[in-house]
Structure 1
Amino acid sequence: VAGMQAMLAAIYGGRTIALMRQFDAKEWFETAQREKVSRAMLVPTMLKRIVDEPDFSKYDLSSLRVITYGAAACPFEVLKKTLELFPGRAFINAFGTTETASTITALSPEDYVFTGKETAQEREKKLRRLSSSIGKPLEDVEVQVRDEEGRVLPRGEAGEIVVRGPRIMKGYWRDEEKTAKAFTKDGWYRTGDAGYVDEEGYIYLTGRADDLIKRGGELISP
Structure 2
Amino acid sequence: MPNLTISPEIYKLFPHFKLGIVQYDHIVVGDSPQMLRGRFELFQENTKLEFESKSPSDDAAIKEWRSIVKQCGADPSKYRHSAEALLRRVKKGNSIHTVNSAVDLTNLFSLQYKIPFGIYDLEKITGPITLKIGTENEKYEALNGRVYNMANKFVLCDQNSAFGSPFVDSNRTMVTKETKKALHIIYICPSMKREEAQQLVGAVAEMFFQLHGGNVNVQLL
TM-score class normalised by the smaller sequence: under 0.3
Which TM-score applies when normalising by structure 2?
0.24
Larger fraction in strand: 1
**Bigger Rg over Cα:** 1
Larger fraction in helix: 2
Which TM-score applies when normalising by structure 1?
0.24
